[in-house]
A = this chain, B = another copy of it.
Amino acid sequence: MSSWLTGALAEPRPESLLFLRRDEVVECLADCDPVGVVRDALLAHGAGDTTLPGEAYLAWHNGKGAYTRSIGMPGAVAGRDFGMKIINASVTNPELGMERAGGLGLCFDSETARVTTVMEVGVLSAVRTAAVSALAVDAAGYGAAERVGVVGCGTQARLHLALLLSRTDTVTDVTLFDERTAAAEALAGSLTARHPGLRVTLAPGVPEAMAGRDVVFFLTTASEGYVREEWIAPGALLVNVSLGDLTDEVLIGARALYIDDLELIVENPRRPLGRLIGEGRIAPAAAAGPSVTATIAELLAEPAKPVEEGYVVVNPFGLGVLDVALFAEVRAQAEKAGRGQRLRLL
């Protein structure tokens, strides 16, 4: 090798970073209390003690003409945790046998801004989502739910149910639906094996998955609303994780409507709730007509009761700062347990 670069550079002071595979991230998450970390980060966010800048968004069409994108979300929590989530996806990934989304979580050093840690982000992101749902179910007053419905039986469903069933012993009955019958069957098999006393039913459609349910989780990739008001059991809580399943009438008709972050929702009129607020059909703050009732952070401070009539909707947009808080916790656990691979960077 001979080049103009050879010898032109001063010798740098060595730097390194910690690399964590998914299985190592899972071990770190198992060693800590991710729900507690997410709860603290939600409260910090509610108190204005987080920084959540605009995301870097790159979209293109891949060789099959399918929507493909990268999102980079930096964030800071409580002046202590700094980092960035990079979550990329292509619509055609499942056809290739891959998870639709994948990416990396990065921790930044608070003093130098150096990248200290690179970790697989898929499971962590799903754990964050499930933790927000679990906290919202409790704080909305549905912590003693008995009958649970799940629409969409992928990784999110696995983690939502695993976490929910670890936090309560009141759930007796779970109904599952997925267009891909095999996915629903696989989840049913796994649930029955892990929770022998649980009654697990495969529903033939979404209305049947929702009938008589205290809580229904929407964990699909639906891009157009299809859930109708008459499918909802009286008093039910709908946890609208995938954001695309509920029709406008269902969002407008909710007795109570809980969100994670108003600004994020309003800034994204591509999503139904953001559009409805933009159109003035749902008020952005508690009011007599259709309106946002409270944030999840507000609910954590002052929990609600289940409704007797009508139904409640939780609409968590997804907060990158919660992931950043989990990155920092995973890194701390990894250092404590000596997990991961230290890589020389320069």
Residue ranges of A at the interface with B (Cβ–Cβ < 8 Å): 1-10, 12-13, 15, 19, 21-23, 26-27, 29-31, 51, 53-58, 60, 62-64, 68-70, 72-76, 79, 82, 84, 86, 88-90, 92-93, 96-99, 102-104, 106, 108, 110-115, 118, 120, 122-123, 127, 155, 158-159, 161-163, 165-166, 186, 190, 194, 341, 343-346
Contacts and interface: CB of A to CB of B under 8 A. Distances in A.
A158 B9 contact: yes
Nearest to A102: B114
**Assembly of this chain: how many copies?**
2
Nearest to A110: B62
Given A13-B98, A104-B115, 4 more contacts: A9-B155, A19-B19, A70-B74, A341-B343
A163 B5 CA distance: 8
A158 B12 CA distance: 13
Q: Which 4 A-B pairs have the closest CB atoms?
A: A3-B30, A4-B166, A88-B113, A8-B162
A69 B53 CA distance: 12
A47 to B, nearest CB: 17
Contacts of A104: 106, 115, 118
Contacts of A110: 60, 62-63, 68
B58 A55 contact: no
Contact of A56 (B13, B53, B89, B113): B53
A174 to B, nearest CB: 14
10 contacts: A5-B127, A8-B194, A9-B123, A22-B345, A60-B110, A62-B112, A70-B74, A89-B113, A90-B111, A98-B112
B58 A53 contact: yes
Contact of A113 (B54, B68, B72): B68
Nearest to A63: B111
B346 A122 contact: yes
Contact of A10 (B19, B68, B155): B155
Nearest to A166: B4
Contact of A54 (B30, B56, B79): B56
Given A31-B1, A54-B54, A194 B7 contact: yes
B112 A93 contact: yes
A173 B27 CA distance: 60
Given A62-B111, A86-B106, A115-B88, A74 B98 contact: no
A88 B102 contact: no
Given A158-B9, A158-B10, A15 B98 contact: yes
A152 to B, nearest CB: 14
